């Protein structure tokens, strides 16, 4: 990538995504502002509109990138495991790990109202691929069962709900402010994945 003049930034689109995530990390996604982002990126207020139609489209690009990264994390972490069940656990850990290590990405990803124009309309590329990977991982734990088997459906639902619920409640604060918070993430993940009977 060549260095350009002062007038033409050269790779503003990339810079907007990265600096935007920094900004979200500092002040939260609801206080995230296009004008401040432009200022920090060293361009004018209107410059971002040559790379994204509006603010929602920038957030959508962030979310899509995050979902892709999470999918790659799924593959990387499950590839190292031997059994289907271990691969499923690895995926669950990868979900939570991503949420905690790439919190600004996850914050945008888990707010579809920010970047999905309407209900169901353009819901593709928003994590459905990740959901399918989870579903496949569960299916391979029960090779003799159909994909619509209640056991599979229940396990998929439970795994999804667990990793998502834990991630949200951890990064938003509730878990950390209660007695559970003292146990730390690692211990809580062990508890979560070993619970024999659900509440």
Partner DNA sequence: TGAGTATCTTAACGGCGTCAAGATTGGAGA
Partner DNA sequence: TCTCCAATCTTGACGCCGTTAAGATACTCA
Site residues (CB under 7 A) for DNA?
2, 4-10, 12, 32-36, 38, 43-47, 49-51, 53-56
Task: Quote the least distance from Cβ 187 to its own copies, whole Å.
Answer: 9
Answer yes or no: are the C-beta atoms of 48 and 54 closer than 8 Å: no
Furthest CA-CA distance within the chain: 62
Q: Which is closer to DNA, CB of 38 or CB of 96?
A: 38
C-beta of 34 vs 130, nearer to DNA: 34
Are 29 and 112 contacting, i.e. CB atoms less than 8 angstroms apart? Answer: no
In whole angstroms, how close is the CB of 196 to its own copies at the nearest point? 7
- Asked if 154 touches its own copies (CB under 8 A), the answer is yes
Binding residue for its own copies (CB under 8 A) from 116, 129, 136, 140?
Answer: 116
DSSP codes joined into one string, 61-125: HHHHHHHHHHHHHHHHHHHT-SSHHHHHHHHHHHHHHHHHHSHHHHHHHT-HHHH--STTTT-TT
5 near its own copies, judged by CB under 8 A: no
The site partner of 161 among its own copies, DNA, none (C-beta below 5 to 8 Å per kind) is its own copies
Q: Which is closer to its own copies, CB of 69 or CB of 116? A: 116
Residue in 111, 123, 91, 120 with CA at minimum distance from that of residue 168: 111
CB of 89 to its own copies, least distance (A): 8
Does position 83 interact with its own copies (CB under 8 A)? The reply is no
Residue number with CB closer to DNA (38 or 163): 38
Which residues touch 67 (CB under 8 Å, ≥6 apart)?
A: 109, 125, 126, 127, 129, 130
| 21 near its own copies, rule: CB under 8 A | no
Select from 54, 68, 69 the least CA-distant residue to 125. Answer: 68
Apex 155 CA angle, 104 and 167, nearest 5: 20
Neighbours of 186 (CB within 10 A): 9
Interface residues with its own copies (CB under 8 A)? 28, 30, 88-89, 92, 110, 112-114, 116, 119-120, 123, 127-128, 131, 134-135, 138, 148, 150, 153-166, 168-169, 172-180, 183, 188, 191-199
């Amino acid at each position: 990538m060549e260095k350009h003049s002062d007038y033409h930034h050269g790779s503003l689109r990339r810079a907007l995504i990265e600096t935007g995530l920094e900004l979200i990390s500092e002040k939260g996604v609801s206080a995230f502002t296009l004008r401040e982002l432009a200022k920090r990126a060293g361009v004018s207020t209107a410059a971002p509109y040559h790379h994204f139609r509006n603010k929602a489209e920038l957030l959508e690009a962030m979310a899509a990138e995050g979902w892709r990264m999470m999918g790659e994390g799924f593959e990387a972490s499950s590839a190292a495991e031997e059994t289907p069940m271990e691969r499923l656990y690895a995926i669950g850990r990868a979900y939570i790990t991503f949420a905690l290590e790439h919190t600004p990405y996850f914050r945008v990803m888990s707010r579809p109202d920010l970047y999905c124009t309407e209900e169901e309309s353009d819901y593709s590329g928003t994590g459905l691929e990740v959901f399918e990977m989870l579903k496949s991982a569960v299916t391979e734990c029960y090779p003799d069962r159909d994909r619509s088997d209640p056991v599979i459906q229940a396990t998929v639902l439970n795994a999804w709900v667990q990793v998502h619920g834990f991630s949200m409640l951890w990064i938003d604060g509730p878990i950390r402010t209660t007695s559970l918070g003292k146990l730390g993430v690692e211990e809580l993940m062990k508890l979560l994945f070993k619970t024999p009977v659900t509440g």
